[in-house]
Amino acid sequence: MLYRKLGKTGLEVSILGFGCMRLPMKNGTGSAADRFDPQKSVDEEKAIQLIHDAKTQGVNYFDTAYPYHGGKSEPLLGKAVQGCRKEVLIATKLPAWMVKGPEDFEKFIHDQLQRLETSYIDFYLLHGLGRQTWSKMKDLGALPFLDRIISDGRARFAGFSFHDELKVFKEIVDAYDWAVCQIQYNYLDRNYQAGREGLEYAASKNMGLVIMEPLRGGRLALAEQIPEKIQALWDSARVKRSAPEWALRWVWNHPQVSTALSGMNAMAQLEENLRIAEEGRASSLSAEELALIDRVTETYRKMFPIDCTACSYCLPCPQEVNIPHNFRLYNDLHVFPDQEINYILYNQMTSPEQRASNCVECGECEERCPQHIKIAEELKKVHSALSR
């Protein structure tokens, strides 16, 4: 296993991190819908075995959160690392959207320490920050709370995970002495949300960079998800690699990246990712290989019905519609076979004000769009296709 420094923490982390949001399921098909269904249960025996095997092979960074698997992820991870707690690094997250008042900060961390069966959390992150949740966290006193739990030893380092536009990301980075941040980043989403510029900005502050969705929820990895045009490009490479290997190697090629999280739910996935991680050195891809990945990215883009580059010039929307996010879900619906996750992300995990249906057709966004997209018209298509 290769290791990298996690920013200013000085800690060495495995470049492959274990994401505990997609654990193996005991009932259900393992689909995206199952992971959000409280009636579906985690296969505890298989999940614990996966975590043990990952640790044995050198993985030392394990990421979970309060709501994962309907609240079952944290207790399972806590059980899995009993007897080796000091050998692993645990990151979990405060569900910012669930906090109603300052007293909830203490409630959540108390519950999470009990769930994880530990006296401390290595990395305590504010979960899913965006414009609204960040404003709420500041107003309710989240930053003094983080200072307090670091001071009394309940957390070693503070961080945040992020889902919004670059401008908001930079504001958050500048507001506190964060140790780590977790952002979505892969070759297809290189300009999405924080994107490459955000990654470089956080790195300039000596923050540890934790990457989520390096395989875009498996869509850049699973054979059944990959369009024929894309596979043909991979097959044209002089050095043959699997689709997940190209995707992970692209992320690890960035020296700013400390670790990339993978939600592994089968031994075969763990074994393949461990093999790929053996070669995941920074700046190790050739110019020819990077050019091939760029061609793959552009080929995907040409397949999308809405030519949105996620530049975010259309934001902020006066009605708070998250235009790039809506377009991304709609584009994915037309390219990737696994469509169920798009309905879940739109109807359950996108706040009502951010959905396409909240557009009032004021036209401000269209005046700023460099792609000259008829945004209001396209948002109607988005809502029609994704609403349930």
Chain segment 293-341, per-residue pLDDT in tens: 999 999 999 999 998 988 888 988 999 999 999 999 999 888 887 778 8
The predicted pLDDT at position 193 comes to 92
The predicted pLDDT at position 44 comes to 93
Task: Say yes or no to pLDDT of 360 above 70.
Answer: yes
Task: Using a pLDDT cut of 90, give the percent of the chain over it.
Answer: 79
Chain segment 152-190, per-residue pLDDT in tens: 999 999 999 999 889 999 999 999 999 999 999 999 999
Dihedral angle, C-alpha 210, 107, 345, 360, nearest 10 °? -110
pTM for the predicted model, two decimal places: 0.90
Chain segment 206-263, per-residue pLDDT in tens: 999 999 999 998 889 887 889 999 999 999 999 999 999 999 999 999 999 999 999 9
Name the phi and psi angles at 117, rounded to 5.
55, 50
Type of residue found at 19? G
Mean confidence (pLDDT) of the chain: 93
Task: Say yes or no to pLDDT of 94 above 60.
Answer: yes
Q: Provide mean pLDDT across the span 281-301.
A: 97
The predicted pLDDT at position 36 comes to 59
Q: Provide mean pLDDT across the span 108-128.
A: 97
Indicate where the chain has its CATH 3.20.20.100 domain(s).
3-291
Task: Using a pLDDT cut of 70, give the percent of the chain over it.
Answer: 96
The predicted pLDDT at position 35 comes to 61
Q: Provide mean pLDDT across the span 265-287.
A: 96
How buried is 82 (Cβ within 10 angstroms: 0-12 exposed, 13-18 middle, 19+ buried)? exposed
CA of 69: how far to CAs of 45, 46, 72, 241, in Å? 15, 15, 5, 32
Least confident of 42-56, 74-88, 214-228, 258-272: 214-228
Which region holds residue 220: left if phi is over 0, alpha if psi is between -120 and 50, else beta? alpha
How buried is 282 (Cβ within 10 angstroms: 0-12 exposed, 13-18 middle, 19+ buried)? middle
Q: Provide mean pLDDT across the span 138-157.
A: 98
CB atoms under 10 Å from CB of 189, counted, come to 20
Task: Say yes or no to pLDDT of 33 above 80.
Answer: no
The predicted pLDDT at position 309 comes to 84
Distance of CA 320 to the CA centre of its chain: 22
The predicted pLDDT at position 322 comes to 92
Q: Provide mean pLDDT across the span 56-70.
A: 95
**230 vs 240: CA distance, rounded Å:** 14
Task: Say yes or no to pLDDT of 3 above 90.
Answer: yes
Question: Element (H or E) spanning 94, and its range?
Answer: strand 89-94
Q: Which fold has domain 3-291?
A: TIM Barrel (3.20.20)
Task: Say yes or no to pLDDT of 204 above 60.
Answer: yes
